[in-house]
Amino acid sequence: MHDDRTLTEERLDRALRERIRPAVHPRTAPLEFEVWHAPGEPVPFAEAMAAPFKPGAVGDDWGPAWGTSWFRVTGRVPADWAGETVEAVIDLGFAKDRPGFSAEALAHRPDGSVVKALNPRNTWLRLGEPVAGGEEFTYVLEAAANPEILDGVSALGDRETAGSEPLYRVERMDLAVFDRQVWELVQDLEVLDQLMRRLPLGSARRWEILRAVERCLDALDLDAVGASAPAARERLRAVLSSPAHASAHRLSAVGHAHIDSAWLWPLRETVRKVARTTSNVLALMDDRPEFVFAMSQAQQLDWLREHQPALYARVKEKAAAGQFVPVGGMWVESDTNMPGSEALARQFVYGKRFFLEEFGIETEEVWLPDSFGYSAALPQLVKLSGSRWFLTQKISWNTTNPFPHHSFLWEGLDGTRVFTHFPPVDTYVAELSGEELAHAEENFREKGHATRSLVPFGWGDGGGGPTREMLARAERLADLEGSPRVTIERPADFFAAAEAEYERPPVWLGELYLELHRGTYTSQARTKQGNRRSEHLLREAELWAATAAVRTGFPYPYEELDRIWKSVLLHQFHDILPGSSIAWVHQEAEATYARIAGELEAVIGAAQRALAGAPEEGSAVVFNSAPHGRAGIAAGGAALAPRDPEPAVEVEELGPGFRLDNGLLRVTVDARGLVVSVVDLVAGRETVAPGCAANLLQVHPDLPNRWDAWDVDAFYRNTVTDLTEADVVRRSGDGVEVVRTFGSSRVTQLLSLRPGARRLDIDTEVDWHEREKFLKASFPIDVRADHSTAETQFGHVQRPTHTNTSWEAAKFEICAHRFLHVGEPGWGAALINDSTYGHDVTRTVREDGSTTTTVRLSLLRAPRYPDPATDQGVHRLRYALLPGATIGDAVREGWRLGLPERRVAGRAEVAPLVSVDADAVVVTAVKLADDGSGDVVVRLHEAHGGRVSARLTAGFALAGASVTDLLERPLADETAEVDGDAVRLVLRPFQIVTLRLTPNDEA
């Protein structure tokens, strides 16, 4: 037989495009509308209804960037349409080539109640099924002119430069008859066409479908599509009824809409995106009771509760019915590389608690499809939050090494394991196409061991979520020969079944490093600095407020701290903290961090004044918020300031250059302002590699291939400019000031030693005006280290410094929190910082056989997309070199750098509220219990990587103690060993423990 396959496939393409899809709405009538363009920011419905609307017409322009236009649409159903299904079909100029990232609208009834949303691929509003004919109706559309900021440099992300020209044009405003049979025919043909094209050419099933499609088209009258559609569908019945193979892959389809809490739009627009998507989902649930939709990010539901209470009430009804499923267990889908220990724990505390209090649901699956890599601390936090499973998809974006598993056990820092799934469909915005489902089945790496995977379906980021077409596909693909079996179900049902069937899943140990988006450790330095400082201020505010509450009756600011924590957690969203949002987002973040700092400073000041007592002239109490004692002041305690003068640091002028000496370190700064020697006087060892200079600032070109703010590509290292010319090298107090100018920028550094401290402090101010450049600070250290040790949440991770395999080579840029350490047996060195996350570590072997291990901090970048002015302006950064440092030294000094001592007038000695007798145990939080009981909650962990026995002593009479989960609920399998006013602890490496201490009020 002749091969006429292409002829039939092309016939189907044209018939669908030109005849069948247009016949879904065979009769139309124009709608009338009026419009009001709101000036400035969005306004409530009632305010818009009082505004002066003006007549509009199809073809009218509307919507300057970020503007809101209100359309009042009216019409009458023609009398001769009685008995038909009728829809309004509206196109406000939506993007034709993408499902979101465009204009959107929320449709209201005249009383303000919400109908559903209009999105680029969801343009209908159902009037009735059927209609009586003659009905008059009105819809009010709140239309958002969100600009498309998807490619290249754009001024649209900043309100100051976005302009006032309209971006959109009204393309269609029609009333239309909806022909159900034609629509069903479209779904039949699309499912079969997509399946057919993915089947092998030699497959009998492919040709069976082709011939059925051919017979269907023969039965279709192209001049009377509606009338002939039932007969045409009948020709497809047999191929649509043929069941899937017994061994067909099983796909659990979960309705979903990935909505970035901010990205190419500001936070306020996400509030509206959530309402629009939710309204679509609820409308689908009313029509399709089998439809299940999963929504993560408690923050987004909290926005809905605040701004759209009627929609939120409907969400709660559908949640109770099992259709609307909260997932994720976190406040937002946060970045997990850069949030601090306590902040990452609080993501789970606030998310889980919201779902429990609002929905009565204990979420068990952690849902993080789109973050840029996953911390090795997460498995333990997942378990301690009361969750069981973890889901992501982003690791499929690896550019070098395909991840070897789709279902596996993920083992974290401390040995905790959680069952984890990567959907092999390789997208979190699936449309259930034949291409996607075939890819999921072919790509699934657990074949022979497991039979099922999950597919999240629905348009995100303004696309409006799942559509009726997606549900129609799922219905047809439930049991269809040649396709995986598709079942719409809850994520928990999938996880329970997937875990049960996989008896011995493989184990992945350590972080899930994303081989992409490495620039997010550095972009938007002010946002990162604001986050780190907010985390430290929250620690201080809780510690001193709790101490003052127990000791003096100080009113603990529960509500204020709760509100601030939620704001900090929101800004850890995976496009805010990583620096990959538009200018508007980061401008708001900077202002928010400044406001938060003021509020927390007020809390800290009030609590410390209550503890310090009445001020006396010349007296001061020094408060130490760090988790380790210093200068004779216990961790979490305060003492009178010492009156003895501190020993001076020697500063010697060497002609060209200077030498600094504090008896522990001797630092030589040459005429170029470069550190050419750092002698560890305790060990008698030079830190800087021979012939090299430390604190060498280096500038690289930085134009990644694809994602500017997100990526640094390895080739940036091929070209480097060393900043060795200095404008000024001079003594400044007990340090050396160095000033350099380069390009359009200027950097001023103060290099200093502190009395009694084994560290070289470097305070840096950069007035940065480069474009597409990368600024690094280099420290070539004379040590042979085959791995680096970087602080992460509740511990540290070790990464190879070599490039033996592609897995190591791909980690050319890495994330560290307060420290990064390199060492050999008996001696090491660390770099600590106050707000820098990006680092790289390389090694070379010198001619004499010795090794130089170079550690570099990534200080600033200058990407142009999505914010053309990223990081322009003045930055103040602090970092320090610690020669002769152990891991414990690095932990201790990292905390001290970020938590400087505070001096408050007064004369009271303040004993710690709690104290721990083991240096390896770090207390990350001291606070009052969230339930207002007055109990003291302490969270701590082992920080050095070894087993430790410790004793935690309460600075108050102790009535009892319990070990709890992150939500401060007692753990059934854990008991606290109480000994008087102390608790005895035995911790495994990196173990997190939360203790709830009940004061004895009668003591």
**Which helix or strand (DSSP H or E) is residue 4 part of?**
none
Q: Hey, which bits of 695-781 come out as E strands?
A: 696-701, 721-722, 728-732, 735-742, 745-753, 760-768, 773-781
Instruction: Give dist(CA 658, CA 655) in Å, integer.
Output: 7
Which residues lie closer than 8 Å to 572 by C-beta, 6 or more apart?
Answer: 332, 334, 335, 338, 339, 343, 347, 531
Angle at CA 81, nearest 5°, toward 78 and 84?
A: 140
Residues 6 or more apart whose Cβ sits within 8 Å of residue 918: 948, 949, 950, 951
> What are the distances in angstroms from CA 640 to CA 8, 630, 633, 899, 956?
89, 13, 9, 18, 21
414 given a catalytic annotation: no
Are the beta carbons of 474 and 442 closer than 8 angstroms? no
Sequence-distant (6+) residues with CB within 8 A of 972 are none
Contact 530, 879 (CB under 8 A): no
Whole-number Å distance between alpha carbons of 19 and 11? 11
For 294-338, what is the HEC assignment? EECCHHHHHHHHHHCHHHHHHHHHHHHHCCEEECCCCCCCECCCC
Question: What is the Cα–Cα distance from 574 to 518, expressed in whole angstroms?
Answer: 13
Query: Residue 377 in contact with residue 401, Cβ under 8 Å?
Result: no
User: How many other CB atoms are found less than 10 A from the CB of residue 622?
Assistant: 20
**What amino acid occupies position 67?**
G
CA distance linking residue 81 with residue 532, whole number of Å: 63
Return the closest-CA partner of residue 259 out of 317, 299, 309, 290: 299
CA-derived radius of gyration, the chain: 31
The answer to whether 456 touches 294, Cβ cutoff 8 Å, is: yes
**Pairing verdict, β 293-295 and 324-326:** parallel
Q: Using CA atoms, how far apart are residues 885 and 266, in angstroms rounded to an integer?
A: 43
Instruction: Find out whether 729 and 672 touch, Cβ atoms under 8 Å.
Output: yes
Q: Which residues pair with 680 in a beta bridge?
A: 665, 685
Identify any residues that bridge with 283 across adjacent strands, giving them in sequence order.
none
b/e map of 781-802 (b: 16 or more CB within 10 Å)? bbbbbebbbbbbbbbbbebbbe
Are 675 and 760 spatial neighbours (Cβ–Cβ below 8 Å)?
yes
Using left for φ > 0, alpha for ψ between -120 and 50, and beta otherwise, residue 1000 falls in beta
Q: What is residue 455's three-state secondary structure?
A: strand
From its phi and psi, is residue 40 left (phi > 0), alpha (psi between -120 and 50) or beta?
left
Helix, strand, coil percentages in the chain from 3-state DSSP, rounded to 5: 30, 30, 40
Tokens of 647: 């020993």
In the chain, the amino acid numbered 565 is: W
Apex CA 807: angle with CA 804 and CA 813, to 5°? 100
Instruction: State the catalytic residue, choosing from 370, 670, 767, 965.
Output: 370
Positions marked catalytic: 370
